[in-house]
Structure 1
């Protein structure tokens, strides 16, 4: 099976309900950062800003994941405490989605870090 080369190709492989949620995230991020470029990186849909990953998002069998940067996650750790997390990702489900407000805050926080030139 060929790996998706675009976000649209990736989303076409995702079940319709999860596809809708991921597409809503994609649309929101593009509204927040209109200059964000779409690509696939590490086999995940990625939106890049100033040639750096701004966010990744994925669908897995039992959850979806949103990768806004560990820095942004640290900034909003209290709001994220009810979600399972890895160092770089927030896992969520259809039953417990990420709110538009929280996604907005995470994206804008990471954008500010990129604008400030922060590196790992």
Structure 2
């Protein structure tokens, strides 16, 4: 991948060489399937899916690809599934020799959708409580 920031996801992927491009396109297809309401965009210079906030990001680097689902990688329910992958700061690194299993990507996306929707519900609840306190005082 070169250091130029791509204008959109298609341009980003076009600049990635195989086999990394194929791995990222597979991740992209799985996320689209698992979260059909998510919107695809570029954020932080990499492909991103948004649904009630940032959902997941993915990118290629010199020697690996990364899937960025955030702090969910620390979820105890994923510990066994993530064994064998390098995990760092909300990132799962993978390679052609050790690709992310499709089912794991689906599972992570499902967990992230729930996490984001719960966060939105919590914000709405907090806002409603503040509104009630202001008008009810």
Query: 5 Å matches for 1:1-120?
Result: 2-50=4-52, 52-70=53-71, 72-75=72-75, 76-117=78-119
Structure 1 pair 6/80, CA: closer, same or farther in 2 (3 Å)?
same
**Alignment RMSD:** 1.5
Structure 2 residues without counterparts, runs of 5 or longer: 123-137
How far apart, in 1, do the equivalents of 2:7 and 2:49 lie? 13
Distance 2:81 2:36 in 1: 26
CA distance in 1, matches of 2:23, 2:83: 21
Larger Rg: 2
Deviations 1:47-78 (A, max 9, x none): 1112x1111001011000001121x2122122
3-state DSSP of counterpart to 2:67: strand
Whether the aligned pair in 1 keeps the contact of 2:46 and 2:59 (CA below 8 Å) is yes
TM-score, length-scaled by structure 1: 0.91
What SS class does the counterpart of residue 98 from structure 2 fall into? coil
Structure-2 separation of matches of 1:12 and 1:29: 19
| Distance of 1:17 and 1:66 partners within structure 2 | 16
Q: Which structure has greater helix proportion? A: 2
Q: TM-score, normalised by structure 2?
A: 0.80
Moved over 6 A (4+): none
Q: Runs of 5+ in structure 1 lacking a partner?
A: none
For residues 44 and 95 of structure 2, the distance between their equivalents in structure 1, rounded to whole angstroms, comes to 22
Q: CA deviation at 1:2?
A: 4.5
